[in-house]
Amino acid sequence: MPMTVVVTRSQPGRVRGFLASCMCEIAPGVYTAPRMSAGVRERVWEVLTKWFEPGPDRAIVMTWPDPSLPGGQAVEVLGVARVDLCNWNGIYLARRDLTEEELCTLTTQQEKVQSGERDVTVSSEPNAKAAS
């Protein structure tokens, strides 16, 4: 019986209460069950699917180990996820669109590299300015 994790965003109280009745809420909207059987997991997902109310900022993601799938992990999603999960060479990668600021910074860095400037640094800091 593998670990099951459910992450919710903007869900009504009955969904959160239901999940808290069968899983441990380790952080707001994050539920875990270290020994949930496949049958119980399927029933929980069935209830979540029936109760899910679509909305612009509502989502539920469930994941659990499955050695037959890419990365050894199964993923189910209700609603619109903030990232796209992509299978790349057998592992899941999370992809999201760049913000206008990130796109502008990336374009500027690319232009500097193409023009031959040597002191180009790229920071993972969201508000950091690139050195030139």
Over residues 69-85, the pLDDT tens digits come to 877 889 899 997 767 77
Residue whose structure tokens are 């232009």: 111
pLDDT tens digits in sequence order for the chain, 132 residues long: 789 999 999 999 999 999 999 999 999 999 999 999 999 999 999 999 999 999 888 999 999 999 998 778 898 999 977 677 777 787 777 777 888 898 888 888 888 888 877 665 655 555 555 444
- CA 7 remoteness from chain centre: 8
What are the structural domains, with CATH classification, of the chain?
A: 4-95 (3.30.70.240), 97-132 (no CATH)
Do 38 and 86 contact (CB within 8 A), yes or no?
no
